[in-house]
Structure 1
Amino acid sequence: MRPKRSIFRIMLDVVVYLGALLMLFGINSFLAGNTVPLYRAIAAGRETAVAIGLIVLYVAASAYIWRQYQDYQLSGKLVVAFVGVSFVIVMGISQVVTRVVRSSLTEDIGAALTIETGGLRNEVDLFFHEKAGQIQTLVLIDSFKEQLAERNASYSGSAADIQAEIEQLDEQWLVASDDDPLITQVTSANADINPLAFQLYDYLEAFPQQTELFITDRYGATVAATGRLSDYYQADEEWWQAAWNDGQGAIYISEPQYDASADIMAILIAVPIVSEEENEILGIARSTVDARGIFAILDRFQRGETGYAFLLNGAGEIIGDSAAENETSDAALSEAIRQQVLEQNVNTVIGLDEAGEETIFGSAPLHSEADAEEASSELNEQLAE
């Protein structure tokens, strides 16, 4: 029969055991940010050797306590039982409190991000409204409408005949030199040659963020432009058909996209030119807008030391990033996070970034089907009046 162990030795055993437990909980919190179970941290390959070593230590300590337990005096057994139960209760309460506090903080941060991203969205919407409104103001000029009405009336024959004539001119346009009369009659800044183009050039000087502007008639043929276009016929373009809107007219605003000719990210805006007297569309005005104005809005965003703003297109690609110079956000924004933002249309997303760090993202949609209608409603209502 082995001698009973003293209270001092029992307490020493308990301290060793509790130390192993505390180290296990500590490494779990360190690896997983107190949010991901330890086995997931191990599966991710983060500090695997340390984690396994601590687990082995915990198992060894448990086996040691269990083996020695039968040698404890009754008072020692009561001490071990009391300390063990108390430890489990305290650790359980601490875990619950930690999760409750974390959940509350996450909700508060998420709510703040939702408000801030909503403010950014409103600023971007205002940018779109401003640029579309500038173009609409231009096309409300009576001389624009008069010259377009004359151009539309100059066609003769059936719709098929008009289409064939425009397509023939489009073929000539593709192979013509820059000094060809077909080109110069459309792009000349001389008011005697093309009064419409002359006004377009003046407009670009007044609004430098608009980098390109041109006008088509109701059939899609280019009437005036501030530079040579790749095509003469525009009615087969998505933006033209959206602005034409089956003859009803609508404001079209594209996603930011790369403009190779200007070597910038740009936004395409198309506005119908409407005759109030006849209540019909006379033509379409199309502008290319420098998107750096939107990126400047993102650059002004700042939240703490790590907060940043970014803009995704419909494909989930980052096209604007306030932290691009620091080379932090593009790597941090995982594909899973991007798809979650796009597909679920949520205001707040919580997930692991590419570095495995938990991050909170606030989002606000721009130009979904509902938002596009809302964003353009004021301008489209003016068109209908």
Structure 2
Amino acid sequence: MERKTQVVSQRAPNSGILKRLRNLPVFSKLYLTILVVVVVTLGVTGVLVASVTTSQQIAVQSDSLRDVAVTFTRSLDTVLAQDVVGRIEVLSLSRSLRESVEAQNSAPQSMDDITILDTQWRGASDSDALIAGVLNNELADELREFKTAVPNHVEVFATDAAGALIASTNRTSDYYQADEEWWQATWNGGQGAIYIGQPEFDESSNSLALTVAIPIRAQSGASAGSTIGVLRSTYLFTSLVDLFASANDGQRAALHLYLGADIRVGEQTGSSEASAFTLLDADEQAEVAAFPASTSIQTTYENTDNIVYRLNVADVSEYPFIDALGWFVVAHVSTADAFAVIAQSNLVIVISALLGLGFAAVLGFGVSRLIVSPIHQLTELAKKFSAGEMDTRVPETTRDELGVLAHSFNQMADTVTLRERDLNELNRTLEARVQERTAELRKANALAQESVRLKSEFLSTMSHELRTPLNAMLGYTSLMTEGLAGDFDDDTLDMIERIHKNGQRLLLLINEVLDLARIEAGRMEIVSAPFDLHDMAGQWKSQMEVLAQEKGLDFTVTVDDKLPAQIVGDKDRITQIVVNLLSNAFKFTEKGAVDLTITGRTNSWVISVADTGIGIPPHALNYIFDEFRQVDGSSKRMYGGSGLGLAIVRNLCRLLNGKVSVTSEVGLGSVFTVTLPLEVSVAEMPAEMAVE
């Protein structure tokens, strides 16, 4: 009962809201419906328009950002190819440069000599012959002329095939360069490759320098095209600043160029002045590493909501030496700037929606009043009619649905008036008939009760009268079969045993008839008392085991250990139920097994009798528990019986507030299941339950 109360209380709020809505006047329902439809329509339309507008604006901004990023990247690509690499590449074609390199390669130095010279280079003064020979030769003068012509190339030097210096515009830190990463990448195993290193940022001068190296190739002879040396330049990347202004002229977008993992070059939004180069800290480097691939997204960038477009420089560049740098451009615009137009559009949408809602409210009020007024009139007239004013009729002023409703009401009123007159007349005649039928029913009921009483007395008397001589006959035949009344020959003894068995069957039939009569008469008493279920199960097994042995059947009894040892119930009636079910199981089973299983459930316990007998056809399951009914006539002839056993089981289960059911399949057997309420004695209860 507590569980049901909880469920009802949980559903009460919803049912209360629905009830209040159902009980609203028709005018309110109609008016609210119109307003809800208008509000939902305006809301959905506004959301769709805003969504489409936002998507379009994002697409427009993404295209604009992509154009800015591509323009900047192509400009950067041109600068790298022409100013940074192109000029030094032209220098590498100098005849004097090639001749100087080939001359030193023709008289190669040993590695030991190079090591000694490298040590001397690092420790000597500028006036040392070794240093002066590298800085003041004709090739060094040519390199300085190149540096003067192209001032962004602040340091230029050349090495031979072994990595030793030939000429330089400035004194370098080392004489031997072949152990440097840039030299090995440019030499490339003798194949030669253009090298651009990651930029180095000098915070003190706020300048950015690139290492550029070009292979020096032979131009004639058998070795034409082969790498004979390396030309390196340190390029001061001052022209990078001007690229931002040309790429982002007149745009709201801001540009950032990421050089490697720790350097960012950028500008302020809408400004043509580039900001200082920025060295990224560890957190910023991690953010850059996790930045999405080339795509248009809406995200948080620089602690601001932005529409962001990232473009890898390698995706636009036509030069393979740029691919390995991993540089990328980020073009972004704040969502506040990007969606300024959308904000104005949304304001117009909201104002239009509010105006539309106001118009719909006024129009809905008028339409609702127009529709509901005739209904109110019909309602008032219907109240008068129900109050007894049978002459009330509704004016039929229109031909729409309300006019049809008024016409139908008037027809109904005419019909009701006519039928009321007929009904009053019928009531006068019916009352007399009811009194007559009541008297007849009382008489018939008294006769039926008397008949039931006489039948019960007759059955009780006859059962007693029949059992008295029958018990005497069974007693004498029992003495005779046991040899206590003398000796008999085999034929005589066989006939006596047949008399004894048939007498027992007759006594069983009489007992069943008597039990059935007592149940129907309501005189079967149920005596509940505690009993040991396990002991009772053992008695049932001992009592019925002889039937299993006679037919060679397996017989098992299983009791659920979770059931309490002591339960409360009428053990005699329960035993009668179990014995009847087991007797039937053994009677209709020729081979296999009969199983008695006792299990526990919540607030109940179950007795199950399963056999491997002949089974019950599906149609017979409908009447198998009726009195004097068996599966068919052949079963009665073959197995005997009165057909009362299962009827008694069903009635006893009802008396015990239980139930019985059966499942069966022809040829495979049957399972009879009895479910009884579980009552536990106080001794079996937990201490807290016993106190309660």
TM-score (normalised: structure 1):
0.68
Aligned with residue 119 of structure 2, among 166, 171, 177: 171
Aligned with residue 258 of structure 1, among 190, 194, 201: 201
Q: Paired residue for 1:244?
A: 187
Q: Paired residue for 2:288?
A: 338
Equivalent residues in 2 for 1:50-65 (5 A)? none
Equivalent residues in 2 for 1:2-151 (5 A)? 72-131=24-83, 132-151=85-104
CA distance in 2: counterparts of 1:335 and 1:68, whole angstroms: 62
CA distance in 1: counterparts of 2:205 and 2:155, whole angstroms: 9
Cα deviation for residue 282 of structure 1 reads 1.6
Q: Paired residue for 2:150?
A: 207
Q: Paired residue for 2:232?
A: 286
| Cα separation, partners in 2 of 1:263 and 1:165, compared to 1, 3 Å | farther
> Contact 1:337 / 1:349 at 8 angstroms: preserved in 2?
no
| Cα separation, partners in 2 of 1:267 and 1:276, compared to 1, 3 Å | same
> Contact 1:114 / 1:362 at 8 angstroms: preserved in 2?
yes
Say which SS state the counterpart of residue 289 (structure 1) adopts: strand
Deviates further, 94-103 or 317-326 = 317-326
Do structure 1's residue 322 and structure 2's residue 267 form an aligned pair?
A: yes
Do structure 1's residue 154 and structure 2's residue 107 form an aligned pair?
A: yes
Cα deviation for residue 67 of structure 1 reads 11
CA distance in 1: counterparts of 2:187 and 2:240, whole angstroms: 26
Q: Paired residue for 1:272?
A: 215
Q: Paired residue for 2:311?
A: 364
| Cα separation, partners in 2 of 1:67 and 1:293, compared to 1, 3 Å | farther
Q: Deviations over 1:39-95 (max 9, x none)?
A: xxxxxxxxxxxxxxxxxxxxxxxxxx9998577422112222332233223212221
> Contact 1:310 / 1:318 at 8 angstroms: preserved in 2?
no
| Cα separation, partners in 2 of 1:178 and 1:335, compared to 1, 3 Å | closer
> Contact 1:366 / 1:372 at 8 angstroms: preserved in 2?
no
Aligned with residue 187 of structure 1, among 135, 139, 145: 135
TM-score (normalised: structure 2):
0.39
CA distance in 2: counterparts of 1:224 and 1:206, whole angstroms: 18
Say which SS state the counterpart of residue 159 (structure 2) adopts: strand
**2:299 corresponds to which letter in structure 1?**
G
| Cα separation, partners in 2 of 1:112 and 1:231, compared to 1, 3 Å | same
CA distance in 1: counterparts of 2:101 and 2:146, whole angstroms: 18
The count of residues paired between Structure 1 and Structure 2 equals 297
Say which one has the larger Rg.
2
CA distance in 2: counterparts of 1:262 and 1:203, whole angstroms: 23
Structure 2 runs not aligned, ≥5 long: 1-16, 324-692
Say which SS state the counterpart of residue 270 (structure 1) adopts: strand
Say which SS state the counterpart of residue 292 (structure 1) adopts: coil
> Contact 2:160 / 2:166 at 8 angstroms: preserved in 1?
yes
CA distance in 1: counterparts of 2:275 and 2:227, whole angstroms: 47
Q: Paired residue for 1:230?
A: 173
CA distance in 2: counterparts of 1:154 and 1:356, whole angstroms: 63
Cα deviation for residue 242 of structure 1 reads 1.6
| Cα separation, partners in 2 of 1:305 and 1:119, compared to 1, 3 Å | closer
Do structure 1's residue 309 and structure 2's residue 255 form an aligned pair?
A: yes
Query: Over the residues paired in the alignment, what is the CA RMSD in angstroms?
Result: 3.3
> Contact 1:299 / 1:321 at 8 angstroms: preserved in 2?
no
Q: Paired residue for 1:353?
A: 301
| Cα separation, partners in 2 of 1:70 and 1:326, compared to 1, 3 Å | farther
Which structure exhibits the higher relative contact order, with contacts defined as CA atoms closer than 8 Å and separated by 6 or more residues? 1
Cα deviation for residue 218 of structure 1 reads 0.9
Say which SS state the counterpart of residue 154 (structure 2) adopts: strand
CA distance in 1: counterparts of 2:125 and 2:26, whole angstroms: 105
